Structure 1
């Protein structure tokens, strides 16, 4: 069993930032990532473009140079990969954390490969692993996915896209331009206000001209092999359908946080309890970093405003170890 001053769960941009900061301050550390480097970004759509500009995605002051002001997914993958390799970070890839137990002092972290002990645990796992389900009959059919990758897959198919956020709108536009017959199903009265400002006019115009069908104030009632039943203000409709992209957002692993002893708010936001000055939770030695801090408010924390968590956490750890 190996012992480290710090164990970081999650090898995304903020987990990497925590590892960099620990390394600079002379702390022993390991980053545990269940997939490849920046696993969540790797699983983003192949053509995704960030809302933030490249300098906002930088960590530790390391310049991020991109072709356009707002970088693409492949550029981000290259940037964070180079940071890991150039700094020889101690990151264990494809090593999933299976359990964490509190010891008399610190924590025991058991992974799919081995176990570790540490006085300080940083959870930087994000929220992209658990989709918000729509809980209707047929949601478990093979034709339904909560993740979108490549528009080519849907060419010449009848595709229903559920959602009104960036992921849903990007998918609808890209698939339409690759020859899919796209129908948007939106629970509210309009396209989401947080949709990227250069994309929102595009989708609105495609809907107006009839290139993309859209049903507002609508909800899916049932998904079948060859059709989709939705409830609309005009009544129930049955749509011919080949595939469904249910892009209704994602949520943190609250069960994992609860198992760790982190207290969550009782309201629908499920906000975890932590000290905003140190990022330490109600559990001594347990810290949160990145978007997981926002609970269900997944639009609250991004790389650009949570990258500071790394310095805050490591400074607090050093304060405790050097009183």
Structure 2
């Protein structure tokens, strides 16, 4: 049975940072990624611009140079891809992990291609896999998507954008500028306060002038091929519609975490249990890194404040390497 010291699940920026740190420390490792390098970033909108400046997205002290202070998606893809290739990281792409099981001190990590064995595991899978659904009739129609890619697709179409966060606002503005007839449907009373400060005035002005219609304190009750049924403060509205972008946020794969033995808080935040001094969960040898640490609080962790998780975890793994009985209490 081939054995490695560490399996890293997730080949995003934080998973890559963990791989770099393991390589520097002489720890045998393998990164398993379900898609391409930095899969989540690859699935971001084509014109997406980060809120953070480029130096805050750097990992392992490797400079990130961008054309503007805040880099765009294509620049980030180039940066992280070059890190992986130039450092010859041991990463296997398009290999989704289906299960993590522990037998004694050894983890078995299963994918459709193989079962790997390791003494330690880091889960750095982020939260972009599972959209928060609307749970309304018609949500499964082909016209409905929970992911936004390119505004050209929606040109000359009646587009409903559900949500009021950065992703929803970016999509509404870009699609309107490409000729879509855009209507925003917002559950709360206003556009989100966390929307990028240089973008929020733009969407507010477009709504105020009537270029983009917005229904606040409203929700979709039903989706049909030709229209939407809205519940608004003024009553029921029948809205003609061609496409729906339901950009209502995403969540980690909690079933995967629970199946691996990780305990979650019993409140709506579903925070996984881990020790912030080591990033080790209640399962010895099983660690969390990156945004997944926040549970449903997906706004709590970013690349810039979780890239240090790699050093914390590898320091703990090294401290136990010569002492198999060493274990940390979780909190």
TM-score (norm 1): 0.99
The residue number in structure 1 matching 2:100 is 100
2:305 matched residue in structure 1 = 305
Matched with 1:192 is 192
Shift of 1:110: 1.2
Secondary structure at 1:2's aligned position in 2?
A: coil
Q: Secondary structure at the match of 1:68?
A: coil
Find the counterpart in structure 2 of residue 292 from structure 1: 292
State yes or no: 1:177 paired with 2:177.
Answer: yes
C-alpha distance in structure 2 between counterparts of 1:220 and 1:45, whole Å: 24
1:151-198 Cα offsets, whole Å, 9 max, x none, are 000000000000000000000000000000000000000000000000
Task: Give the aligned partner of residue 206 of structure 2.
Answer: 206
- The alpha-carbon deviation at position 208 of structure 1 amounts to 0.4
Give the match for residue 75 of structure 1: 75
Tell me which residue corresponds to 1:278.
Answer: 278
Specify the SS of the correspondent of 1:48: coil
Which residue of 2 is the match for residue 149 of structure 1?
Answer: 149
Q: Distance in 2 between matches of 1:58 and 1:322?
A: 32
Q: Distance in 1 between matches of 2:309 and 2:288?
A: 8
Distance between the aligned counterparts of 1:178 and 1:89, measured in 2? 40
Residue number in structure 1 paired with 2:328: none
Deviation at 1:269, TM superposition (A): 0.3
Shift of residue 99 of structure 1? 1.5
Runs of 4+ in 1 over 3 A off after TM superposition: none
Distance 1:222 1:267 in 2: 29
Q: How does 1:29-40 map to 2 (within 5 A)?
A: 29-40=29-40
Shift of 1:2: 3.0
Give the whole-Å Cα distance in 2 for the aligned partners of 1:232 and 1:2: 60
The aligned counterpart of 1:3 is 3
Q: Give unpaired runs (5+ residues) of structure 2.
A: 324-331
3-state SS of the aligned residue for 1:97? coil
Aligned length: 323
Indicate the residue corresponding to 2:326 in structure 1: none
Q: Distance in 2 between matches of 1:15 and 1:53?
A: 20
Aligned 8 A contact 1:2 1:115 in 2? no
Q: Does 1:215 align with 2:219?
A: no
Q: Distance in 2 between matches of 1:75 and 1:286?
A: 32
Contact 2:10 2:32 in 1 (8 A): yes
Aligned to 1:13: 13
TM-score, normalised relative to structure 2: 0.97
Aligned partners of 2:203, 2:322: CA distance in 1, in Å? Answer: 55
Question: What pairs with 1:25-174 in structure 2 (closer than 5 Å)?
Answer: 25-174=25-174
Contiguous gaps of at least 5 residues in structure 1? none
